[in-house]
Structures are given as C-alpha cells and as structure tokens.
Structure 1
Amino acid sequence: MIVQPTWLVMLSWAVLFVGLASTAVVVVDQFVFGYRQPVKVMEIVWPATALYLGPAAVLAYRRWGRPQSPRWLDRHGNPPRSSRHAPTIIQTYHCATHCTLGVIIATPITYGVGLEIFGSTLWPEVVGDYVGAVAIGVAFRYSAEAHTGRRRAWAAMRKFFRSDVLTVSVFELALLGWLALMHFLVFHEALRPGSPVFWLIIQVGLIIGFFAAWPPTSLLIRRGVKTELLGTPQ
C-alpha cells in the first residue's frame, strides 16, 4: 500500500478544490446569471476546461466565452476583438473536453470492475479513456448535425474523424506518457480513484495533454481541415 506524504495529499485537495470552484464559477455564470452560449456544446466545454486549468480557464471564459452569449451582446453590443490565438486555444479546449470527460467517465468504471491487462490497471484505464473520448467527440459532433436528418450519425462520425481524431489522439498519447511515468517510475504501484493524489495526477496529465494537442490543432486550422470553429469569437 502506498503511503502518501501529508503535504502531497493536502496539495491534491487544494488543487481539486480550485478546479471544482472554477467550474462552479463558470456554471453559475451560464445557468444562474444567464450568460448562455449560442453553441450549446460550449456550455460543457468551458466548465470542463475549468476542472483542470482552474482560474486560467475562468479568465479565458470571461474574455472569449461570456461575450458570445446573447445576454452579453444585448447589454454591450459587439464582443471585443479576440486574440489571433483564440481560435486555436478554444478548439484545443473543445477537443480536450472529449478527453477530460472520457477520463471522468471511464476511469471509475475500469477501476470499479477491476479490469487488468498484463497485470496492470493502467492499460484498461488508457483504453477506456480513449474510447470514451472518441465516443464523446462523436456525440458532440452529433449534437451539431441536426440539419442532416437521417444521415446525422454518419455526418458526425465523418467530421469527428476528419477534424478531431488527430488532436484527441495526441492528447491521449501525452496523457498516457504522463500516467505511465507516474505509475512505473514514481509510485511503483497503482493509485486508486479514491485518492486525491490520483486526481491531481490526472489534472496534471490533462494540462500536459492540452499543450501537446495545441500544435496539431493549429496545424489543422491553418490547413483548412478544421473549418467549423465551434464557440470561437468571430
């Protein structure tokens, strides 16, 4: 059994609290104060991003997300000019949300049923996270394809695999590298989802995945592969 240093446990709780508090700030602003997003999937993307980027995500939301809401536009008119990096950052948030939700959903399931591959819980977790990320990515695209009628599912899968699968794969590969490093070289034993340290490691991995996914997202936008920039200021 792993004996975790008290300082690490306390740090983990503190970081988790900041992430959850940041998410709550965004959720309250959207659903209580009425700053709803015109692209509904962004009402999931912004809170999910705040889970691991914390106050940085809240600042990004206040700068680029909130001004897109009808309530803000009614009060202030046109939104402020956005940074030239905004489309890339927001689209990376979008794809990172697939992975974030995949981790949150798949990890407790794989640990809960006690899955192991080669005697390790790491590999089922990684496979579950990736499958979950792909499923959520297709679901997000499906929600945006209401106009395609009976071909909606096919259109969603085609757009996901054309525009998002590279970014999701790079994100998951970076996350896997980080988790493997922690699993085999630092703790030498599987941490469990009941430990706050486990989720601190996940949060750090999500941040690493975000920065790893940034360059391929930028490349896809520059080459015109990512043409539907959901939630991006115009």
Structure 2
Amino acid sequence: MMVQPTWLVMLAWASLFVVFASTVVVVVDQFVLGYRQPTKIMEMVWPATALYLGPAAVLTYRKWGRTQSPRWRDRHGKPPRASRHAPTTIQTYHCATHCTLGVIIATPITYGVGVEMFGSTLWPEVVGDYIGAVAIGVAFRYSAEAATGGRRAWAAIRKFFRADLLTVSVFEAALLAWLALMHFRFFHETLRPGSPVFWLIVQVGLIIGFFAAWPPTLLLIRRGIKTELVGTPQ
C-alpha cells in the first residue's frame, strides 16, 4: 500500500481542523447566539458550506447570512446592499449542500459495504454520491413545499429537476473528474475514508465543484428558471 507523505497527512489534519472550527462558528452563531435564518433550509446550507470552504464560508455568512436574521435586523435595521454576485453565490451554496451532504452520507456507506464496479471502489462512490445529492435536493424542495401549504412530493421533484438538477450534475461531474484523477493517477486506489488525506481530497473536489457549478447557476437565474432565490439578501 502506498505510504502517504507525512506533510500531506499533517496538511489534511490541519485542513479538517479549520473547516470543522469554521462550521462550529456558524452553528454557534445561529443556534447559541440566536442569529437564526428566516429560511430554515439555510440553517443547514451555511454550516455545510463551511465544511469545505472553511473561513471563506464564515466571511460570506457574516456578510450575507447573519444579516438576514431577525435578531440582526432588530439590532441594526436594514442590512447594507449586498454584492450583485450574492444571489448566484448563495444559490450555488444551496445546490452544493446537496452534493456535500451526499458525499458525507454515501461515501462511508459505499466503502463500508465494499462494493466494487469495474474493479474499482470509486464508481460505486460516485453513483452513491450523485443519488444522495439528488435525494437530498428533492428532500429540500419537499420541505420547502410545507411553507406553501402542502407537502407535495411530485411538485418537489419537478422543481428540483427544473431548477437544481443542472447545477447538481455539473458539480458532481467536476467532483468526479477530480476524484478520478486523484484515485487512479496519484494514489492508485489506496485512498479510504479512514484517512484524513481522503477527506482533504474530497474537500478540494467540493471546492472545484462549487466553482464549476457557479456559471450554470447564474445562467438559470438569468433565464428565470431559478426564481425562488432562497436565503439571498433582500
């Protein structure tokens, strides 16, 4: 088995510490300090974003997320005008959360079961991640339907496929390309979820997926397909 360099293992642990600390900062701010989000889904989106963007997610949360909370508005009034990129970025965060949670849930399951496809553990992981991302995306839409007076499964599925599937698919394709490169070219299938380096590689893949998913999100917004801009500054 390939021995991972000590510097890479230390870097992976440091990165994990930073993103977990960033996630804790967001969670404490929302649930302990009381800066709750008016849209409950965003109370999952912001911490999930911190799991791969770390301090960058904390900065955008404090600028665009915290200022949306009733507690902040009661104290400070109307928040300052947000950047014109805020809606696209936050909507990309939203869809990226589907993929992030899909990876976190599906990856340990597929590796734990030990399923292989075409002689590799990567392909079952990719399939599991994608199915998980779609399922979570539909669940988010289903939850949002409750706010409109009904929990309509077919409505949630239609809205997800219309407004979110493209972004999720592009994100997952970029993540797959990165994982395949690392899996076959550099680590020769030695990476496993028990290694911190594995999760560093996943974290970088999620960042790549975010930047890949940003342009299609912008396109969907400009074409009026993604009209429910959940969690964006008003």
Q: Deviations over 1:186-213 (max 9, x none)?
A: 1112311000000000000000000000
The normalised TM-score by structure 2 is: 0.98
Equivalent position of 2:11 in the other structure: 11
Output aligned runs, 1:222-233, within 5 Å: 222-233=222-233
What is the CA–CA distance in structure 2 between the aligned matches of 1:80 and 1:36, rounded to whole Å? 18
Equivalent position of 1:32 in the other structure: 32
Cα root mean square deviation, aligned: 0.7
Report the AA paired with residue 108 of structure 1.
Answer: P
What is the CA–CA distance in structure 2 between the aligned matches of 1:44 and 1:148, rounded to whole Å? 22
The total of aligned residue pairs comes to 233
Output aligned runs, 1:61-210, within 5 Å: 61-146=61-146, 147-149=148-150, 152-210=152-210
Report the AA paired with residue 192 of structure 1.
Answer: R
- Contact preservation (8 Å) 1:2, 1:189: no
The normalised TM-score by structure 1 is: 0.98
Shift of 1:148: 4.7
Structure 2: unaligned runs, 5 residues or longer: none
Shift of 1:50: 0.4
Equivalent position of 1:47 in the other structure: 47
Structure 1 residues 17 and 11: alpha-carbon distance in aligned structure 2, compared to 1, 3 A threshold: same
Q: Deviations over 1:25-65 (max 9, x none)?
A: 00000000000000000000000000110000000000000
Report the AA paired with residue 120 of structure 1.
Answer: S
- Contact preservation (8 Å) 1:26, 1:47: yes
Shift of 1:149: 2.5
Report the AA paired with residue 93 of structure 1.
Answer: Y
| 3-state DSSP of counterpart to 1:109 | helix
Q: Deviations over 1:70-100 (max 9, x none)?
A: 1001101111110000000000000000000
- Contact preservation (8 Å) 1:121, 1:190: no
What is the CA–CA distance in structure 2 between the aligned matches of 1:98 and 1:54, rounded to whole Å? 17
Query: Deviation above 4 Å: which 4+ runs of structure 1?
Result: none
What is the CA–CA distance in structure 1 between the aligned matches of 2:197 and 2:123, rounded to whole Å? 19
